[in-house]
Amino acid sequence: MLPLVLASTSRYRRELLERLHLPFSTAPPETDETPLPGEPPEQLVCRLAEAKARALQSSHPTHLIIGSDQVATLDGQIIGKPHTFANAKAQLQAASGRSVTFLTGLCLYNSQSNHCQVTCAPFTVHFRQLSDAQIERYLQAEQPYDCAGSFKSEGLGISLFASTEGIDSTSLIGLPLIRLVDMLIKEGITLP
């Protein structure tokens, strides 16, 4: 089995990958994440996931490299990480009673064979009608300022949802494990 490396510094992606009980290392990819002019969100996340994986090719020439990128969209427009309480409050106010779709690009790149698998995993969150008081209490409790969409679905953020829709709930956190397992199996990895 080729060694596995996660092209990411995200603790969320690292924690998800640990669920598969496979040995892996992590390395930060040096990647320009600027969207191309007119680039649709689906193409952006796939391009960046592949770019992140390929960025480690020279330093990891005989590895399976996992790259991933995610954006949240509301009405087809990308909403990023809020970084501040005020931005997070505005994002959740805009999402109240509406749906936000998360698009997670995933790439598994075999740097030895140059074989590359790329996909996009969509996942939609349908929000409850949220009052300002609910939003403020949530933000004070969880402070999800490094999360696209301003919530942590693996925590108290689940209380903000009316429902969810998608085939791989782990894509919401940033690494679609169901699709990754499919890719790993195609590379000859035995799971579980």
Per-residue pLDDT, averaged over 45-58, amounts to: 97
Whole-number Cα distances in Å, 62 to 2, 4, 115: 7, 9, 12
- At 192 the pLDDT is 86
CATH architecture of 4-186: Alpha-Beta Complex (3.90)
User: Residue 114 above 90 pLDDT?
Assistant: yes
Question: Residue 48, exposed/middle/buried by CB under 10 A (0-12, 13-18, 19+)?
Answer: buried
Q: Region 104-133: what's the mean pLDDT?
A: 97
Provide mean pLDDT across the span 102-114.
97
| Phi/psi at 114 (5° precision) | 70, 15
Asked if residue 127 has pLDDT above 90, the reply is yes
Which one is catalytic: 69, 75, 132, 182?
69
Task: Provide the pLDDT confidence category of residue 54 given band limits of 50, 70 and 90.
Answer: very high
The letter for the amino acid at 163 is S
Q: What per-residue confidence (pLDDT) applies to 153?
A: 87
pLDDT greater than 90 at residue 96: yes
Integer Cα distance of 68 and 6 in angstroms: 9
User: Left (φ > 0), alpha (ψ -120 to 50) or beta: where does 97 sit?
Assistant: left
Average pLDDT, the chain: 95
SS3 per residue for 13-34: HHHHHHCCCCCEEECCCCCCCC
| Residue 148 pLDDT | 86
Assess whether 168 carries a catalytic annotation.
no
**Amino acid 1: pLDDT:** 82
Average pLDDT score over residue span 83-110: 97
